[in-house]
């Protein structure tokens, strides 16, 4: 399988290429490019986040919980008061840490985090969050989710390519390693899989209402 550095670089390279293509094809607003590239990088590293207590996992856990709680703090301050906003933000931080840990306790390496539904869940979820929570323009919201997907699926593809052994044996020969077929999958552990598909259903509901 491809390593951490390879995944980061591949996500960045495909991210830069697809940001250019997005501008050319859809006039994607370029002032949000940092965000697009950030999302591609997050997507590119997320599938391997489930290695127990790995640095990527812990980084994701704390940054993810922190960003989630700040989003809720903003909502609280906007709709109620600063005090309530801080309270909701703090509560959300510890709740998110707990939920991420709980989710992780079910998974093994190359488990649910390394699956197609996880990518779809993240991509649609980010479009919803960008549009409804941060009030980004529609196109920018699509961009945020879309570049996450670009990074995520590039990671899965790269892992599958690494599990092919390409050589020469009276013509080109392609052999499959044992890990072939474990990167692209539609399901993994039972409960997280059920949870993800139901969550995608909820996200799609919001997604359809955009625009």
Which positions lie near Zn ion, rule CB under 5 A?
Answer: 47-48, 159
Stated length of the chain? 211
Count CB neighbours of 159 within 10 A: 22
Closest to Zn ion by CB, 48 vs 128, is 48
Our separate counts of H helices and E strands in the chain read 7, 2
Least Å distance, CB 4 to Zn ion, is 10
Closest to Zn ion by CB, 79 vs 176, is 176
- Give Cβ neighbours of residue 22 (< 8 Å, ≥ 6 apart): 28, 36, 143, 146
Least Å distance, CB 159 to Zn ion, is 4
Helix (H) or strand (E) holding 174: strand 172-176
Least Å distance, CB 199 to Zn ion, is 22
Least Å distance, CB 196 to Zn ion, is 17
8 A C-beta contact, residue 88 and residue 74 = no
Closest to Zn ion by CB, 47 vs 122, is 47
Least Å distance, CB 31 to Zn ion, is 32
Closest to Zn ion by CB, 159 vs 203, is 159
Residue 163: C-alpha distances to residues 75, 156, 187 (Å): 45, 11, 20
Closest to Zn ion by CB, 69 vs 154, is 154
Helix (H) or strand (E) holding 125: helix 116-128
């Amino acid at each position: 399988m491809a390593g951490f550095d390879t995944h980061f670089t591949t996500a960045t390279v495909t991210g830069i290429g697809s940001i250019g293509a997005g501008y050319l094809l859809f006039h994607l607003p370029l002032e949000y490019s940092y965000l697009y590239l950030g999302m591609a990088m997050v997507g590119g590293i997320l599938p391997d986040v489930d290695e127990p207590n790995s640095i990527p996992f812990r980084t994701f856990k704390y940054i993810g919980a922190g960003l989630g709680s700040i989003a809720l703090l903003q909502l609280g301050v906007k709709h109620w008061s600063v005090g309530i906003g801080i309270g909701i933000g703090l509560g959300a931080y510890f709740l998110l840490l707990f939920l991420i840990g709980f989710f992780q306790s079910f998974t093994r390496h190359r488990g649910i985090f390394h699956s197609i539904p996880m990518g779809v869940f993240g991509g649609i979820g980010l479009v919803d969050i960008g549009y409804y929570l941060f009030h980004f323009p529609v196109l920018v919201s699509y961009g945020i989710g879309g570049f996450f997907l670009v990074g995520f699926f590039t990671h899965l593809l790269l892992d599958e390519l690494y599990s092919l052994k390409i050589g020469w044996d009276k013509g080109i020969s392609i052999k499959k390693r044992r890990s072939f077929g474990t990167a692209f999958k539609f399901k993994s552990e039972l409960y997280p899989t059920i949870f993800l598909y139901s969550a995608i259903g909820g996200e799609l509901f919001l997604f359809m209402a955009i625009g």
